[in-house]
Amino acid sequence: KSGVAIVARLGRLPPGAMPVDVVLNIYDLIQQTPICCGFFHTGVEVMGQEWSFAGGSGVYSCTPRSAPDGRFRQSIVLGSIPSSTAVTSAVDRLRSEFHGDAYSLIFRNCNDFSSALSKELLGRDIPGYVNRLARLGRIWPIRLC
């Protein structure tokens, strides 16, 4: 793993460094009900820029908490990194895996990208409930999406 992920996991920053929060922004894609297990869009916010993934465009950035086609639900601080410069490197490494043609609602979606970016930056995953529907779809015997 990168030095940034190791530093973030151990909770130590270089002397004089100001930690930068890594925030998961979660959006409702449909009206959620108690029966529904969650149909969410996510993006990872660092220093006023939110990174996400969509079909056609691939990896993109937008103004935090303003993703199209979703209603902002909540933000979760996932952890901190020593500086925002690590984000550009991490996003560049993930672009080839998350290009616009690779999008699949079940097998490679925005939540998978948020998970991968969180692992790159912090060495840990996003909360499991966020991508629960896709995980259930992956074990379903019929593969249509």
Vertex 94 angle, CA 76 and 123, to 5°:
50
End-to-end alpha-carbon separation of the chain, Å? Answer: 32
pLDDT recorded at residue 68: 85
> Does pLDDT of 16 surpass 80?
no
pLDDT recorded at residue 12: 59
Give the residue among 125, 28, 110, 5 at the shortest CA–CA distance from 62: 110
Q: Are 82 and 6 in contact (CB under 8 A)?
A: no
pLDDT recorded at residue 140: 72
Of 30-39, 89-98, 111-120, the least confident: 30-39
43-96, pLDDT tens digit by residue?
999 999 999 999 999 999 999 999 988 899 999 999 999 988 899 999 999 999
Of 32-36, 42-46, 105-109, 128-132, the least confident: 32-36
Q: Are 29 and 70 in contact (CB under 8 A)?
A: yes
CA dihedral 47, 49, 50, 52 (to 10 degrees): -120
State mean pLDDT over 106-116. 95
Catalytic choice (37, 99, 110, 145): 110
Q: How confident is the model at residue 33 (pLDDT cuts 50, 70, 90)?
A: low
Rounded to whole angstroms, the Cα distance separating 131 from 106 reads 9
Burial class of 36 by CB neighbour count within 10 A (0 to 12, 13 to 18, 19+)? exposed
Give, for 10, the enclosing helix (H) or strand (E). Answer: helix 3-10
Catalytic choice (36, 37, 41, 99): 41
Rounded to whole angstroms, the Cα distance separating 80 from 77 reads 8
Residue 64, CA distances (Å) to 30, 75, 107 in order: 19, 10, 25
- Chain position carrying tokens 């992920």: 5
Kindly report whether the global pTM for this prediction surpasses the value 0.95. Answer: no
- 62 given a catalytic annotation: no
- 41 given a catalytic annotation: yes
Q: How confident is the model at residue 134 (pLDDT cuts 50, 70, 90)?
A: confident
pLDDT recorded at residue 29: 87
> Does pLDDT of 145 surpass 60?
no
